[in-house]
Amino acid sequence: MTQLLERAVTEILQLPEAQQDEIAERLLLELEDAKWDALLARPEAKAKLREMAAKARANYDAGLATPIIPEKMG
């Protein structure tokens, strides 16, 4: 563990449990975001996303897309 992380954990441990949980949730979300960022940055992911976008665009242009109406969603 780095010194900075150790210092942060020491500070967090002094907080009430509810605040500790809030910080933990934010950290976990940040870590999850970082994983997705790394995954989507991979060349094969970028290629797949381009392929999916092209297919969606072709469906839209062909009139095969259904509009998303938030008010009608579950």
d(CA 1, CA 22): 21
For residue range 9-59, list pLDDT tens digits in order: 999 999 999 999 999 999 999 999 999 999 999 999 999 999 999 999 999
Kindly state the helix (H) or strand (E) to which residue 40 belongs, with its residue range.
Answer: helix 17-40
Q: Using an 8 Å Cβ cutoff, are 26 and 33 in contact?
A: no
Q: Retrieve residue 63's tokens.
A: 């009139």
How many domains does the structure of the chain reveal? 1
Provide the residue range defining the domain that includes 23.
3-72
Q: What is the pTM for the complete model shown?
A: 0.63
